[in-house]
Amino acid sequence: MEMTTDWVLREAVVADADAACQVLKRSIVECCALDHHRDPTRIATWIANKTSENVSAWIAHPGVYALIAESASKPVGVGMITRSGQVTLCYLVPEALYKGIGRALLNAMLDRAQHWGLRTVHLESTQTALAFYARNGFNPDGAPFNENGLIGTPMSRDIERSRYH
């Protein structure tokens, strides 16, 4: 568990699924306009699988490490990485941006990947998150692609033996 005076990171449990869904949906709707251009169809498609049932299953899956970031006991961020080294979620609500919470989520996932013995971590970045991932050592790893009107950019990062903060 990583703590500061304002927020805490902890491993997610199935009981966090509803709150995690709310974080995911708020982040997508309120923070990712660069990607969905406020198009209701694109937003609906993007959030369609962000249900309590799905998120519960993701958290419970033995091949996944899921995290919740909380501020004032309220969830403000969600992170998830698979044992194969794919970062599948790294989302924050708007009021949690630019406070080091996203970096802490990402570093916790990198720590877990290193613990698992992985050497490289992969993800598909939104346009909104490209600069964030670049600042945190990720590089493009393939051509951008269009999925349901959303542009994704494959990125990867080697995990260093030393601390990466």
- Per DSSP, helices labelled H in 116-157 are 130-135
| Nearest by Cα to 84 from 105, 61, 102 | 61
Tokens, residue 35: 């990607």
CA of 160: how far to CAs of 40, 116, 145, in Å? 41, 13, 28
- Under the banding of pLDDT at 50, 70 and 90, the label for residue 165 is very low
Residue 160 has pLDDT above 90, yes or no: no
CA of 113: how far to CAs of 1, 57, 84, 125, in Å? 16, 20, 8, 18
Domains and CATH numbers, the chain: 2-158 (3.40.630.30)
Residue 133 is predicted with a pLDDT of 98
In angstroms, rounded to a whole number, what is the distance separating the alpha carbons of residues 46 and 143? 21
pTM assigned to the model:
0.92
pLDDT tens readout for residues 5-21: 589 999 999 999 999 99
Buried b or exposed e, range 10-45, using 16+ CB within 10 angstroms: eebeeebbebbbbbbbbbbeebbeebbeeeeebbee
Q: Are 31 and 94 contacting, i.e. CB atoms less than 8 angstroms apart? A: yes
pLDDT tens readout for residues 74-108: 999 999 999 999 999 999 999 999 999 999 999 99
pLDDT tens readout for residues 121-153: 999 999 999 999 999 999 999 999 999 889 999
In angstroms, rounded to a whole number, what is the distance separating the alpha carbons of residues 119 and 84? 10
pLDDT tens readout for residues 31-76: 999 999 999 999 999 999 999 999 999 999 999 999 999 999 999 9
Q: What are phi and psi of 156, to 5 degrees?
A: -145, 165
